[in-house]
Amino acid sequence: MRNLILILVSLSLLSCKARPPRHPDEHLDPVTAAMVSSVTAPMIFARAHQDVAANSRQYVNVVATSVNRQGRYEYILLVYIWSTVDARLGAGAHPGETLVFLADERAIRLQRDGRSLHEVGLATPLLRPLHFRGPPRIYKTDRDTLRFIASAQHVRLQLEGDQDARPFDVWKEGRRQLGALASGN
């Protein structure tokens, strides 16, 4: 009996230490009255820029979001392009309007959406990097695309029409959270 109690206590302690799966953050936008679900952390892509400084990188933060307006769901990506070292590598330096995910040898092209944050149902930017100024780029997508990216083994990112044609590599994973958002609703 004593051994059984010890085993049960050990199992309960182990379950306390296990991390719960990351579920999307969900809230009612107080200004637009849309129900907004988003990942709890962005996928971050980076590429080196040794021409600026030894450890200089340019980053792209991708925040997947679902906006529910009276039962009509829309999936969007908020994209922040930034650099901590050189402001010239920031939001205004890239003329390309097309975001290309290179996921398991498949190129997924998303055209930049011209709507404002408010028009897509968001009063404020979500998960904006500290060093970023201005509104994020908005890209409309769908659930199946998010699921594919989340399940891909290899993912890279490109900005079509960018002056620098090199792709961005994953700097910080976020596919698990992306998958959780895409499987919700």
Q: What pLDDT was estimated at residue 116?
A: 95
The predicted-structure confidence for 143-169, as pLDDT tens digits, reads as follows 999 999 999 999 999 998 887 888 999
Contacts of 77 (CB under 8 A, 6+ apart): 62, 63, 64, 65, 99, 110, 138, 139, 141
Q: What pLDDT was estimated at residue 163?
A: 79
**Average pLDDT of span 161-182:** 91
Q: Let me know: does 102 contact 157? Beta carbons within 8 Å.
A: yes
Is 92's pLDDT higher than 60?
Answer: no
Q: What pLDDT was estimated at residue 165?
A: 83
The encoded tokens of residue 6 equal 């010890």
The predicted-structure confidence for 64-80, as pLDDT tens digits, reads as follows 999 999 999 999 999 99
Q: What pLDDT was estimated at residue 21?
A: 41
Is 10's pLDDT higher than 50?
Answer: yes
**Average pLDDT of span 158-184:** 90
- Local structure of residue 136 (DSSP, 8 states): P
**What's the pTM value of the predicted model, to 2 decimals?**
0.82
CA atoms within 13 A on the CB side of 184: 25
User: Please, what is the angle between helix 175-183 and helix 143-151, to 10°?
Assistant: 150
Instruction: Give the whole-angstrom CA distance, residue 44 versus residue 83.
Output: 12
Instruction: Give the whole-angstrom CA distance, residue 37 versus residue 63.
Output: 11
Is 90's pLDDT higher than 80?
Answer: no
Least-confidence region, from 86-90, 116-120, 169-173: 86-90
Average pLDDT for the chain: 84
Instruction: Report residue 3's pLDDT band, with 50, 70 and 90 as the boundaries.
Output: low
Q: What pLDDT was estimated at residue 164?
A: 80
Greater pLDDT, 57 or 10: 57
